Homo-oligomer: A and B are copies of this chain.
Amino acid sequence: MKNTKVSDRLLTVPASPIRKLVPFAVEAKKKGIKVYHLNIGDPDIKTPEVMINVLKKWTTNPIAYGQSQGQPKFLESLASYYNKLRYSFVKTNHIQVTTGGSEAISMALFSVCAKGEEVIAFEPYYANYNSYAAINGVKIVPVLTKGETGFHLPSRVEIEKKISKKTKAILICNPSNPTGTVYTKDEMEMLVSISVENNLFLISDEVYREFVYDGKKYFSILEFMKKYPDKMILLDSLSKRYSLCGARLGMIVSLNRDLTDGVLRMAQGRLSSGFVDQAMAEKLTEVKDSYFASVHKEYQTRRDVLYKGLKSIKGVYLEKPEGAFYTIVKLPVKDSEDFCQWLLTDFRYKNETVMVAPAAGFYGTKGRGKDEVRIAYVLNINDLKKAIEILRRALVEYNG
C-alpha cells in the first residue's frame, strides 16, 4: 500500500520565525526558567475596560453566525473611526471585516494576483507575508532596505527595476513591522506615483498607525484613496491599537468595487468573523483619547529605553525606530537563529533568559538577515531593562 502524500505546496509554507522556536521556550519554562518574550508583538497593555465589560455583561444566547461583511454596528464603529481621522469618505460599504489582519493580507494577495504573479515588498518585511504568498501562489519580489538608512526606501530607479510584466502590486507596512520605519510624505508620494504610472495596486498595512513617535507626521494611504480609488488598498487590524490580538479582527478598506465585492464572496465562504469579538470591538468609539495617549507615551518610553540599552552593547547596531514597536537589530553573531535557540536551550542569567526572533525569515532574499534579530518592545520598562541586560551578558558568553 502506497503512502498518500501531501501536496508540494504545503511543504513550501514556511514556519513562522516568530513562533518556530516556541517549543524551546516551552521546554525552558518547564525547567523553571523565566523567559522574557521579545519575539512576538503581543502587548502587555490592557484591553480597554469598555470592551472587557461587554463580556462581563453578556446576555446574548445562542452565539450565532454574524454577517459575512461584518456586524452592522461594528462596521459603523469602524467607519466612524476613519471619519474621525478626517477620512470622511470612508463608508461602511468600503469596509470588509476580516478575521485578523492576517486574513486581510491573504485576501488582498489572492485578489490582486493570479498564481505566479508578483508583489513588490521592501525587505525586511513582516514574515507572514511569506506565508500568505506561499498559500496564495504569489511571488514576493523583495527590494532591499538597509539599517544604515533606518530602512527607508531606496530610489525610485531601484524600485522600478524590480517591476516586471507579472507585477500587480506594491505592498508596504507603515509604520513598519519589523523595522519601525515610518515613511515620509515624499516616500508615500513616490510609491503612489510608481503605482499610478505602472498601473499597480498599492497595498498598505497600517496596523500600527497610532504608534508614531517624536511627533513625526504620518501619511496614510487613505490620503490618496479618493484620488486613486481603483488602486489604493488599506489593510488594518484592531490587534495592536486596542490590545486585542486574541480577538482576531482586521479589515480591508477600498473604494475598488470589484475588490470589495470579491472579498465579500470570499468572506461568505468562511461565513463570518467572531460574533463575541465583534461585539467587544464595536465599543471602540467609546475608548477615550486618554487611553491612546498613555499607550503612546508608554511605547515611546520603551522605545527610548530599548534603543539606549541596545546601543550600549558592544557590537550591536540599530537606528532609532520611528514607529510601531519593533526594531531590526544587527548582532555580533554569524547565525542569529542558532543564537536565538541557544538563548532558550543553554543560556541563563539568574535563572532567566530572553526570546527574540531571528530576522532571516523577514527577508525574501535567501542569506540576508542572518546576523540580525527582530525585537518587539512589548514589555514594561522594568522587564525590558532586565531583558536587555540578559542579552548583553548572553552575547559576551556566546562569543566568549
Whether A245 contacts B42 by the Cβ 8 Å rule is no
A246 (CB) vs chain B CBs: closest residue: B275
Whether B271 contacts A131 by the Cβ 8 Å rule is no
Question: Which residues on B sit within 8 Å (CB–CB) of A117?
Answer: 7
Whether B243 contacts A135 by the Cβ 8 Å rule is no
**Bound Cα distance A13, B258 (Å):** 12
Residue A9 lies at the interface, judged by CB distance under 8 Å to chain B: yes
Whether B102 contacts A62 by the Cβ 8 Å rule is no
Q: A6-B262, A102-B271, A135-B269 are in contact. Are A63 and B13 (CB under 8 A)?
A: no
Cβ distance A50 to chain B, nearest Cβ, rounded Å: 12
> At the interface with chain B, which of A53-61, A141-149, A391-399?
A53-61
Whether B56 contacts A245 by the Cβ 8 Å rule is no
Residue A309 lies at the interface, judged by CB distance under 8 Å to chain B: no
Whether B262 contacts A11 by the Cβ 8 Å rule is yes
- Copy number in the complex reads 2
Residue A293 lies at the interface, judged by CB distance under 8 Å to chain B: no
Most buried by B among A56, A106, A271: A271
Residue A113 lies at the interface, judged by CB distance under 8 Å to chain B: yes
> At the interface with chain B, which of A28-36, A75-83, A195-203, A344-352?
A195-203
Question: Which residues on B sit within 8 Å (CB–CB) of A46?
Answer: 61-62
Residue A1 lies at the interface, judged by CB distance under 8 Å to chain B: yes
Q: A64-B246, A99-B248 are in contact. Are A128 and B269 (CB under 8 A)?
A: yes
Residue A276 lies at the interface, judged by CB distance under 8 Å to chain B: yes
**Bound Cα distance A61, B55 (Å):** 11
Question: Which residues on B sit within 8 Å (CB–CB) of A284?
Answer: none
A200 (CB) vs chain B CBs: closest residue: B4
Residue A168 lies at the interface, judged by CB distance under 8 Å to chain B: yes
A10 (CB) vs chain B CBs: closest residue: B262
Residue A73 lies at the interface, judged by CB distance under 8 Å to chain B: no
Mark A residues whose CB is within 8 Å of B. Answer: 1-11, 13-16, 18-20, 22, 40, 42-47, 51-52, 55-58, 61-68, 99-100, 102-103, 106, 110-115, 117, 128, 131-132, 135, 137, 168, 196, 199-201, 230-231, 243-248, 256, 258-259, 262-263, 265-266, 268-277, 280
Question: Which 8 pairs across A and B sit closest by C-beta, in order of nearness?
Answer: A246-B275, A131-B269, A16-B268, A10-B262, A55-B58, A102-B270, A63-B246, A62-B243
Q: Can you offer 27 A-B residue contacts whose CB atoms are under 8 A?
A: A3-B230, A4-B230, A7-B117, A7-B168, A9-B115, A10-B110, A10-B258, A10-B263, A13-B262, A13-B266, A16-B269, A19-B68, A19-B268, A40-B65, A44-B62, A56-B56, A56-B57, A63-B245, A102-B271, A115-B137, A131-B265, A131-B266, A135-B269, A246-B272, A246-B276, A274-B274, A274-B277
